[in-house]
A and B are shown apart, each in its own frame.
Chain A
């Protein structure tokens, strides 16, 4: 996101202005780079440099204490026989490929409710956004855990409806649903974007459809979804990438272990354990790059398929 915002002034500064002298133009360029420098320095020193270093470390045996030694592709091949690695990949996939669609569906449903016209709507809009403001914080993960333990709020509700399941936190089969619910609950960001998208759909379309006798479902499939598809695509992309990065909530709920029984040992959490707890930074770096590749491939696939289902208004014909 910093990439997108910081690139804008650079483009503006570099815009050619033919009437000015060469010296003036060079001064403009220099000024541009000066304004850009905080970001540029940060990018080179804090992002690009460490990324290159981790690319190198991915091919080494590095325990943080001794100089790294080159071992070629060993870290990458070791992943295939590492049961915990495979389990963490599986757990993360479940979280991403079930959690993201559910989250987007809820966000869209709520956005459509909030797009209706009735009084007090502004208050509701704020209220539904609140979880996303506090959602990333440590305290929410702690509260979440408290809600799902034995005799917690959720357990009591289950008792009243006659389906006691005990605490979810200690049950390895229930932790992923719990984590997904936590993510879904924080639907505020995609919801706001959906809401903005919904507001841009011309009302005439719905009026015309009503004239032709279309019902609400028909309008949703044939007008809302196609008109919303660019926004949907944007949200899908962002939330998928975001889901792959899940770390803090799992770290807190499992006390940093990925437990119970590795059921919340998400990819990033295992990566952290490997690098900073088990002194295998080479392996951790290799894991990081595999994740970058996987996220890259999935993103590319989404862009590819988007041509078939994303409609930018005005682009047709």
Chain B
């Protein structure tokens, strides 16, 4: 009876992990399509994209990269083998707070860029820029809330699931940053 219950729990955990990776790869596919569209559009109108890019703030985006990587570090600490409940909770809360800091910094950055978005020559650039970064920003905000919820009762299986998703969001930003702002 006990063995059957343990096998059931293990099977459930395996199913959760499988669904998580299906979700992650569908997210990576969606972000991949958007990044691909940005690269193609920037080849079609290289001059417009180069000028539009001058209105972005790469220093703020680099700061946000530091914020997100530090958050990722804390998420990894929370998911580390043998971490105590207190360590898990503290690390998850820190990771979530840094996620909210990322959102706040990005909104500030938008406020400095939005006035250029209406210019006809930059329309295509800013449309893709806001879709890509906005889609990413929603993910950061949403999963930061989930991190806080999991921190309340940090079951190892839930910590693993939410931090895995968090690292993938981090990964997407690492790729997006140089492509959108610099290259």
A and B: interacting chains: no
Q: Which residues of A contact B (CB under 8 A)?
A: none
